[in-house]
Amino acid sequence: MKIISVKDLKIYYNTSRGVVKAVDGVSFDIEREETLGIVGESGCGKSTLAMGLLDILPPSAKVSGEIILEGEDILRKDDEELRKIRHEKIALIFQDPMTRLDPLMRIKDHFLETFHSHRPELSEEEALKLSGDLLEAVGVSRETLNYYPHELSGGMRQRTMIALALIFNPLLLVADEPTTSLDVIVEAQILQLMNNIKKEFHMSIILITHNLGIVAEMADRVAVMYAGKIVEIGPLEDIFISPVHPYTQGLLGSVITLESKNLVMMPGEPPDLINPPTGCRFAPRCPYALDICNKDEPPLEEIKKGHSVACFRAKELAEEKNYYLRGEASERAD
């Protein structure tokens, strides 16, 4: 059952240097209780995408396209309806919880304020009780309610943010680099927590990160973003074991594991989003580029059920690596 459908989402910023095409025609769907991992380098547009889903972008941003939630396009809704959808249907947790909490307000005030904005009929005691319950559910003591944000440790803050996100049992949790600022042990705990609540609350998750390791652990499906577009999207195993798009291959090749023999690095840099190159955006760095790649943009096309790639040579590349295109498990012949 589809929870959310994003169709041709474009987010452009007006800046003094020109129009930045941060997200340039992105489409995907999310199913119930599914985790979609969105990976890419810094600046590929994934964070912008997260903010765009909730429409909390700065005024200089122009959004077009459709975001279908429960059958309705939320981009067409008025301010008040949109406000209600935020946090009730789609909740967002950020990378650095320290800067995301108001330094002058105690934790309980953050909760109370959120309750009040959506369910003003709830009394303060009830709201506080619910808040305490949620905090305990994420593994943090009820006492935390009385603290100020700077008095908590990093892990506690992120758990608090998660608890805040769960207040109205949203359909979708968007997590933008949720563990990047945490140490490895805490990171593992937070990820585990996220998996647990996903099952318990029947939530879908969009996990945005540049860390392929956590994607491998958490995601059901993966979308790879480059220069504001999705270049490949498919089930986790497919992407990790048999990546097709040259960029995805490069990304996975640059991950260092215990078995790595050579460090494969991609030459060049991501393009300028104000004047992206004509044709495929990855073409300038692509070892497989042809003439046509510099002229036309490859559309995102399914090469196999549930697995789409935006590359003119997708079929070729898949075959070359002996991927089994028609059907179930993919193998790779070395």
Partner 1 sequence: MKNEENENLMEYLKRKFMVNWLFGSLSREGKSTSAILVWVGFFILIFFIVIAVFAPYIAPYNPLKPAPGAPSFSPPSLKYPMGTDLLGYDLYSRVIWGSRIPLEVSALSIFFSLIIGMPVGLFSGFIGGKIDRVLVMIMDSIYAFPGLILAIVMTALLGPGLINVAVSIAVVYIPLYFRTVRNHTMSVKQELYVESGRAMGASRFQLIARFIAPNVILTVPVLISLNAADAILTEASLSFLGLGIPPLTPDWGREISDGSYYLQQAPWLAFFPGIFIVLLVVALSLIGEGLNDIVNPLIKRRETL
Partner 2 sequence: MAERRGSIKTYIISRIILAIPMLIIITSFVFFIMRVAPGDPVTAMLGPHAPLAYKEKLREELGLTLPLYQQYFNYLAQVFTLNLGSSLTTGDSVATDIFVYYFPATLELTIFSTIVALAVGIPLGKLAAVKRDKKADVIIRLFGIIIYALPIYWFGFMLQLLFGYYMGIFPTGGRLSPGVTPPPHITGLYTIDSLLSGQFSTFLDALWHLALPSITLGLILSGVFIRTIRVNMLNTLQSDYVQAARARGIEERDVVNRHAYRNALVPVITIMGMEIALLFAGAVLTETTYSFKGMGFLLVWSIQNRDYTMVQGAVIIYSIFIILFSVIIDIINAYIDPRIRY
Distance of CA 241 to CAs 88, 167, 233, Å? 36, 37, 13
**Taking CB under 8 A as the rule, does residue 94 contact partner 2?**
yes
Min dist CB 289 to partner 2, Å, is 38
**Taking CB under 8 A as the rule, does residue 8 contact partner 2?**
no
- Provide the mask over 20-59, with x wherever binding to partner 2 is found by CB under 8 A and - wherever it is not: -------------------------------x--x-x-x-
Q: What does the DSSP 8-state code read for residue 271?
A: P
Which residues between 31 and 70 bind partner 1 (CB under 8 A)?
60
Min dist CB 131 to partner 2, Å, is 13
Choose which of 39, 101, 138, 203 interacts with partner 2 (CB under 8 A).
101
Min dist CB 124 to partner 2, Å, is 16
**Taking CB under 8 A as the rule, does residue 85 contact partner 2?**
yes
**Taking CB under 8 A as the rule, does residue 16 contact partner 1?**
yes
Q: Which helix (H) or strand (E) holds 18?
A: strand 18-31
Q: Which residues, other chains included, contact 47 with Cβ-Cβ below 8 Å and sequence gap of 6+?
A: 176, 177, 208
207 vs 293, which CB is nearer to partner 2?
A: 207
- The answer to whether 158 and 190 have CB atoms below 8 angstroms apart is yes
Min dist CB 176 to partner 1, Å, is 21
- The answer to whether 92 and 176 have CB atoms below 8 angstroms apart is yes
- The answer to whether 274 and 198 have CB atoms below 8 angstroms apart is no
Q: Give the residue among 282, 166, 145 at the shortest CA–CA distance from 226.
A: 282
Min dist CB 93 to partner 2, Å, is 9
Torsion, CA 250, CA 254, CA 257, CA 258, rounded to 10: 110
Distance between CA 332 and CA 314 in Å, rounded? Answer: 15
**Taking CB under 8 A as the rule, does residue 14 contact partner 1?**
yes
Q: Which stretch binds partner 2 (CB under 8 A): 24-32, 60-68, 95-103, 188-196?
A: 95-103
Min dist CB 83 to partner 2, Å, is 5
Q: List helix spans (H) across the chain.
A: 46-54, 79-88, 107-118, 124-137, 154-166, 184-201, 212-218, 236-241, 246-253, 314-320
Binding residues for partner 2 (CB under 8 A): 51, 54, 56, 58, 79, 83-88, 91-92, 94, 96, 99-105, 113-114, 117-118, 147-148, 150-153, 156, 164
